[in-house]
Structure 1
Amino acid sequence: MSLLSVRDLTVKFAMRDQTVTALDQISFDLGKGERLGIVGESGAGKSITGFSLMNLLSRPGFIDSGSIQFEGEEIAGLPDRKMRSIRGNRMAMIFQDPMVTLNPVLTIGQQMVETLQAHRRLSRADAEQIAIMKLREVYIPSPEERLAQYPHELSGGMRQRIIIAMALLLEPQLIIADEPTTALDVTIQADIMELLLELCTSNMVGLILITHDLGVVSQMTERTLVMYAGRIIEAGKTREIINDPQHPYTQGLINALPQQTLPGHRLKQIPGNMPGLAAIPTGCAFNPRCPYAVDHCRSTRPETVSYASVEVACHEVNRLHNTVLEDESA
Structure 2
Amino acid sequence: MSLLSVRDLSVKFAMRDNTVTALNQISFDLAKGERLGIVGESGAGKSITGFALMNLLSRPGFIDSGKITFLGEDIVQMPEAKMRNIRGNKMAMIFQDPMVTLNPVLTIGQQMVETLMAHRKLSKAEAKQIAIVKLREVYIPSPEDRLDQYPHELSGGMRQRIVIAIALLLDPQLIIADEPTTALDVTIQADIMELLLELCQSNKVGLILITHDLGVVSQMTERTLVMYAGRIIEAGRTREIINDPQHPYTQGLINALPQQTKPGQRLKQIPGSMPSLTAIPKGCPFSPRCEFVQDHCLIDAPETVQYANVEVACHEVNRLHNDKAEEIKA
Query: Shorter-chain-normalised TM-score: which range?
Result: over 0.9
Indicate the residue corresponding to 2:76 in structure 1. Answer: 76
Query: Which sits farther off after the overlay, 75-84 or 175-184?
Result: 75-84
The whole-number CA distance in structure 1 between the counterparts of 2:125 and 2:323 is 66
Secondary structure of the corresponding residue to residue 2 of structure 2: coil
Indicate the residue corresponding to 2:57 in structure 1. Answer: 57
Deviations 1:99-122 (A, max 9, x none): 000000000000000000110011
Shift of 1:169: 0.0
Secondary structure of the corresponding residue to residue 22 of structure 2: strand
Q: TM-score, normalized by length of structure 2? A: 0.99
Indicate the residue corresponding to 1:171 in structure 2. Answer: 171
The aligned runs of 1:204-243 (5 Å cut-off) are: 204-243=204-243
Secondary structure of the corresponding residue to residue 306 of structure 1: strand
Corresponding letter in the other structure for 1:97? D
Shift of 1:324: 1.6
The whole-number CA distance in structure 1 between the counterparts of 2:264 and 2:76 is 50
Deviations 1:194-224 (A, max 9, x none): 0000000000000000000000000000000
The aligned runs of 1:93-108 (5 Å cut-off) are: 93-108=93-108
The whole-number CA distance in structure 2 between the counterparts of 1:146 and 1:287 is 52
Alpha carbon RMSD of aligned pairs, Å?
0.5
The whole-number CA distance in structure 2 between the counterparts of 1:293 and 1:81 is 48
Indicate the residue corresponding to 1:182 in structure 2. Answer: 182
Shift of 1:327: 2.2
Secondary structure of the corresponding residue to residue 100 of structure 1: helix
Shift of 1:271: 0.2
Shift of 1:326: 2.0
The whole-number CA distance in structure 2 between the counterparts of 1:325 and 1:260 is 21
Shift of 1:79: 1.9
Indicate the residue corresponding to 2:313 in structure 1. Answer: 313
Secondary structure of the corresponding residue to residue 85 of structure 1: helix
Secondary structure of the corresponding residue to residue 86 of structure 2: coil
Corresponding letter in the other structure for 1:108? I
Indicate the residue corresponding to 2:22 in structure 1. Answer: 22
The whole-number CA distance in structure 1 between the counterparts of 2:291 and 2:326 is 17
Corresponding letter in the other structure for 2:72? G
The aligned runs of 1:259-274 (5 Å cut-off) are: 259-274=259-274
Corresponding letter in the other structure for 2:183? A
Indicate the residue corresponding to 1:87 in structure 2. Answer: 87
The whole-number CA distance in structure 2 between the counterparts of 1:16 and 1:270 is 33
Indicate the residue corresponding to 1:303 in structure 2. Answer: 303
Shift of 1:322: 1.2
Shift of 1:78: 1.7
The whole-number CA distance in structure 2 between the counterparts of 1:184 and 1:328 is 42
Corresponding letter in the other structure for 1:22? A
Indicate the residue corresponding to 1:253 in structure 2. Answer: 253
Indicate the residue corresponding to 1:275 in structure 2. Answer: 275
Q: Is the 8 A contact 1:89 1:172 kept in 2?
A: yes
The whole-number CA distance in structure 1 between the counterparts of 2:151 and 2:327 is 54
What is the aligned length? 330
Shift of 1:80: 1.4
The whole-number CA distance in structure 2 between the counterparts of 1:251 and 1:328 is 17
The whole-number CA distance in structure 1 between the counterparts of 2:282 and 2:122 is 56
Secondary structure of the corresponding residue to residue 36 of structure 1: strand
The whole-number CA distance in structure 2 between the counterparts of 1:155 and 1:80 is 35
Corresponding letter in the other structure for 1:92? A
The whole-number CA distance in structure 1 between the counterparts of 2:4 and 2:149 is 36
Corresponding letter in the other structure for 1:72? G
Secondary structure of the corresponding residue to residue 63 of structure 2: strand
Corresponding letter in the other structure for 1:272? G
Shift of 1:282: 0.2
Deviations 1:178-200 (A, max 9, x none): 00000001110000000000000
The whole-number CA distance in structure 1 between the counterparts of 2:176 and 2:270 is 28
The whole-number CA distance in structure 1 between the counterparts of 2:97 and 2:264 is 33
Shift of 1:328: 2.4
The whole-number CA distance in structure 2 between the counterparts of 1:49 and 1:282 is 22
Q: Is the 8 A contact 1:63 1:77 kept in 2?
A: no
The answer to whether structure 1 residue 150 and structure 2 residue 177 are counterparts is no
Indicate the residue corresponding to 1:160 in structure 2. Answer: 160
The whole-number CA distance in structure 1 between the counterparts of 2:185 and 2:77 is 38
Indicate the residue corresponding to 1:293 in structure 2. Answer: 293
The whole-number CA distance in structure 2 between the counterparts of 1:178 and 1:110 is 24
Secondary structure of the corresponding residue to residue 2 of structure 1: coil
Q: Is the 8 A contact 1:179 1:209 kept in 2?
A: yes
Shift of 1:73: 0.7
The whole-number CA distance in structure 2 between the counterparts of 1:109 and 1:157 is 18
